[in-house]
Amino acid sequence: MRGTNKKILGVIGDPISHTLSPAMHNAALKALKLDAEMEYKAFHVKPGDLKNFINTLRQKGYLGINVTVPHKVAVMEHLDEITKFAKLIGAVNTIKNEDGKLVGYNTDGPGFLEAIKHKLSFNPTGKKVVLLGAGGAARAVGMILAENQAAQIAIFDIDEQKTETLAQQITSNFKTKAVCLPSKNNELAGYIADCDLLVNATPIGMHPLEKASPLGTLELIPPRQAADTLYVYDLVYVPKETLLIQQARSAGAIAASGLSMLVYQGALAFTIFTGLPAPVGVMEQAAEKALT
Ligand code: NAP
Cα separation, 226 vs 37, whole angstroms: 52
Q: Are 261 and 111 spatial neighbours (Cβ–Cβ below 8 Å)?
A: yes
pTM of the model: 0.95
Q: Which protein residues touch ligand 1 with a CB less than 6 Å away?
A: 108, 132-138, 156-159, 162, 201-204, 206, 214, 235-237, 258, 261-262, 265
Does position 180 have pLDDT exceeding 80, yes or no? yes
pLDDT value of position 4: 65
Which one of 6, 7, 72, 96 is the catalytic residue? Answer: 72
Cα separation, 78 vs 114, whole angstroms: 29
Q: What is the rounded average pLDDT of the residues 101-126?
A: 98
Ligand 1 center to 138 CA (angstroms): 7
Q: What is the rounded average pLDDT of the residues 149-162?
A: 97
pLDDT in tens, 143-155: 999 999 999 999 9
Ligand 1 center to 137 CA (angstroms): 7
Cα separation, 114 vs 102, whole angstroms: 25
Does position 220 have pLDDT exceeding 80, yes or no? no
Ligand 1 center to 166 CA (angstroms): 13
What's the chain's length in residues? Answer: 292
Look at ligand 1, atom 43, and give the residue with the nearest C-alpha.
Answer: 137
Q: What is the rounded average pLDDT of the residues 170-193?
A: 92
Specify the 3-state DSSP secondary structure of 142.
Answer: helix
Cα separation, 41 vs 57, whole angstroms: 13
Q: What is the rounded average pLDDT of the residues 17-39?
A: 97
Ligand 1 center to 74 CA (angstroms): 18
Q: Quick one: pLDDT band at residue 186, thresholds 50, 70, 90?
A: confident
**Phi/psi at 262 (5° precision):** -60, -45
Mutation choice for ligand 1 from 20, 187, 207, 235, CB with most ligand atoms inside 8 A: 235
Cα separation, 114 vs 261, whole angstroms: 7
Look at ligand 1, atom 18, and give the residue with the nearest C-alpha.
Answer: 214
pLDDT value of position 255: 96
pLDDT value of position 1: 47
Q: Mean pLDDT over all residues of the chain?
A: 94
Mutation choice for ligand 1 from 18, 143, 157, 238, CB with most ligand atoms inside 8 A: 157
pLDDT in tens, 60-107: 999 999 999 999 999 999 999 999 999 999 999 999 999 999 999 999
pLDDT value of position 29: 98
Q: What is the rounded average pLDDT of the residues 122-140?
A: 97
Task: Calculate the alpha carbon distances from 283 to 33, 34, 277, 287 in Å.
Answer: 14, 14, 12, 6
pLDDT value of position 218: 65
Q: Which of 278, 279, 291, 261 is nearest to 118 (CA)?
A: 261
Region of 281 please: left (phi>0), alpha (psi -120 to 50) or beta. Answer: alpha
Ligand 1 center to 160 CA (angstroms): 14
Task: Calculate the alpha carbon distances from 267 to 86, 238, 277 in Å.
Answer: 17, 20, 8
pLDDT value of position 267: 98
pLDDT in tens, 241-283: 999 999 999 888 999 999 999 999 999 999 999 999 999 999 9
